[in-house]
Amino acid sequence: MSINRIEQLHNMIKNSPTDTFLHYALGLEYIKQDNYKDAQQSFDTVLKIDNNYLPVYYQIGKLMEVLDKLDEAKKIYLSGIELARSQADMHTQKELETALALLDD
């Protein structure tokens, strides 16, 4: 089923290449398949299109953790926390702060 979902998302992206949610969803599908390289490319595309797309910061941070790139994960979490503050999104800010705190444990 995941392969079909990935194909669907690719087709949708062809019609809406700047839709951040579609690229984000594609990245999540790649993570489900442990395809971290393509997941990272999808998430990077989200940031290129709109670096204010807050949900992607948590996912990139988690991806960096999986790849054992903890310094990069911290940087991403800190950027996301700053963005969440600027958007007054307390829920996401707390989520990112928790993820960051867990790295330091």
Residue environment code for 79-88, b if the CB has 16+ CB neighbours within 10 A, otherwise e: bbbebbeeee
Tell me the pLDDT tens digit for each residue of 61-72. 999 999 999 999
Tell me: domain 1-53, CATH 1.25.40.10, correct? yes
Tell me the pLDDT tens digit for each residue of 79-91. 999 999 999 999 9
Q: If pLDDT is split at 50, 70 and 90, which confidence band does 104 have?
A: confident
0.75 cut: is pTM over it? Answer: yes
Structure tokens at 30: 């790649």
- Residue boundaries of the structural domains of the chain: 1-53, 54-105
Tell me the pLDDT tens digit for each residue of 23-35. 999 999 999 999 9
